[in-house]
Structure 1
């Protein structure tokens, strides 16, 4: 009988211990649906007194999202990860709203603008919601200028882009550089277009002076502006500027593709969007409809649409990326529109 009582008491004690809760360990909130929650803009600082480190989160949905337990995780150049901020109970973000977390206010760790760094938005369980990896987006050594940032354009859904002017807590946009006043762009021309690999647009300065083309634009197919010359972009006298296709930012080229198998219109515009030059490859029916079968099919490898003798009439001819088009190799029928 005594033994039975002892066993019963032992069992009750064990159950009591199992049921005990350590109040010093807070409960981890349950993951919910975080659809629409993204990292939207990030600013890093490397010792500049006028610059802050901050992270902008954006809710692309129309619904308020509960952020309780959601974390911001930083991974540095050594691959060391640490939680730099955790949202507490009651934290939310409204639909289509922006939310900022700033160094010195919300977290203490810095965000490097020159070294490898990644910022991850995580669920309470540690699963990733969204991630920004600077090297993956912009390569080793990629950085933004003082006053700029890494931004998604358009908000929440676009590609990561380096912008000259940060838009902290507001809609992201590309800040267009202001072109120098009083510039005469006569002599600046579209000189060569290659829709084969490597795909590029070549500009040529036919004048006897250096041209500052800051703010000069390229428009494609009567639609979007696909290139804006960054501040300080210059082309020397009788020099060339090659702009590669499908680039993430304007420092290396334009943001759209370029196909030798489709009709296309390329416009070269001043910063105020007045016409400087234009190239057209109409449809095979001679119509100004873009993205269709072209009148002049330039898919032959090694060939491009180019101006004979630089700046003159257009022909299909041998590609001469960044060099003179004076050669007549492969010269075809004159391109007209």
Structure 2
């Protein structure tokens, strides 16, 4: 029997900008709950459920971007007054740099963490133009301590475990179902990183159909070439902006300037009024060769990581956190 709780019973928001991310989120719930009535001013669509004893509100966006994210957060906080914080997750564009867990690759996970004087996420396109330069202004709030502690505890315990809980979470998505086939792992043979100066030959067509030169790819070391991937998690600074980045030179310039690991489009809008941790599965390298091939798997790994984060957050500790509306 499907549970029906009250609006006041929900403590964590899970925000998914895209449909592919929302489906992956639903596959991670232990239980699904009956929908609740909403005020006439709240136009969001919610799915409700629980993970590890935490009651969770899953909310999608009608379109990607910082402004839609801000609107969704505002309405969600009013409808569910006891939300403490949120998880903003989905796919993102990776910066191919080395971290303490290895090179950032397609299918990896990047999680926001304060580093290098930044809060874990920055709005790289918000600022003021001065003579001959652009000066970034403003700062985004860091993730709540309970989420940072959970992320660190997960990393420590996962490193010491023979059995990987994230792999078990991925397997919750049954890719034998027709509608879930896009969540299959594409394989390392489909992880193509081109030299930054090499531009895609024909927009709208994949590299193998438009004649992109394979000799322009950067050979990336890998531990194994099989179909059983190990999900690598990187923690650091994520960049948020209104534009999709498809320019490797711009990617590298901003990454070097701010120490970035990933680009996305919603964090600045959500973090303005809602304490969140940002979790992104890497689906492309923010270059002109960007395509949709890794979207499903990248959404799946982000959701798999998010699910396990709940097991490292005591329910009582979350309830003691400050209400998001008071943050």
Q: Do Structure 1 and Structure 2 share a fold, with TM-score over 0.5?
A: no
What's the TM-score once normalised by structure 2's chain length? 0.23
- Of structures 1 and 2, the one scoring higher in RCO (CA 8 A, sep 6+) is 2
Structure whose residues are more often helix by fraction: 2
Greater strand content: 1
- TM-score normalised per structure 1: 0.22
